[in-house]
Amino acid sequence: MSVATAKKRVLVVEDDADIRDALGMALNEAGYDAFSVEDGEQALEWLRHELAPNVILLDMMMPRMNGWQFRNAQRADPALAEIPVIVVSAAADNALRAAGAAKALEVDAVLRKPVDLDELFRAVDRAAR
């Protein structure tokens, strides 16, 4: 497991409570400062009122505002546009990768659920600014 040196802040955007809690717990135990919200709307609200995270972990399939909609809104807001994003999604299969989702979404990485924690920590460390 990775040990984050400078307490990198990570925002987890995930509608599944079990996955959201598991990711948050794993990140906190590895030395990150993890925060969680249920969907893209809550993520935008959180981002506009809290200290910006170093990186966002983004699910794609969510109610109200999905990952694509969130990313469009985030990129359109100059105060939020530069926050790195890692997609963590069951939708991150070959079809999503083949569609060039990482390039189209301008994200730092696309990880498939269930995510390997070591791979996740490496991706967070690479993307976090």
Which sequence spans correspond to the domains of the chain? Answer: 9-127
Write the CA distances from 8 to 16, 31, 38, integer angstroms: 23, 8, 20
Give helix 67-76 / helix 40-49 axis angle, nearest 10°: 30
Q: What one-letter code names the amino acid at 63?
A: P
74 pLDDT higher than 50 = yes
CA distance 11 to 86: 10
Q: Which residues contact 95 (CB under 8 A, 6 or more apart)?
A: none
Percentage of residues in the chain having pLDDT higher than 70: 85
2 pLDDT higher than 70 = no
For range 93-120, the mean pLDDT: 76
Given the structure tokens 């990880």, which residue do they identify? Answer: 111
Q: Going along 4-108, which residue ranges are E strands?
A: 9-13, 33-37, 55-58, 85-89
Select the more confidently predicted residue: 87 or 101.
87
| Arithmetic mean of pLDDT over the chain | 88
Q: What residues are paired with 34 via a beta bridge?
A: 10
98 pLDDT higher than 50 = no
Q: Which CATH class is domain 9-127?
A: alpha beta
Q: How many CA atoms lie within 13 A of 58 on its CB side?
A: 31
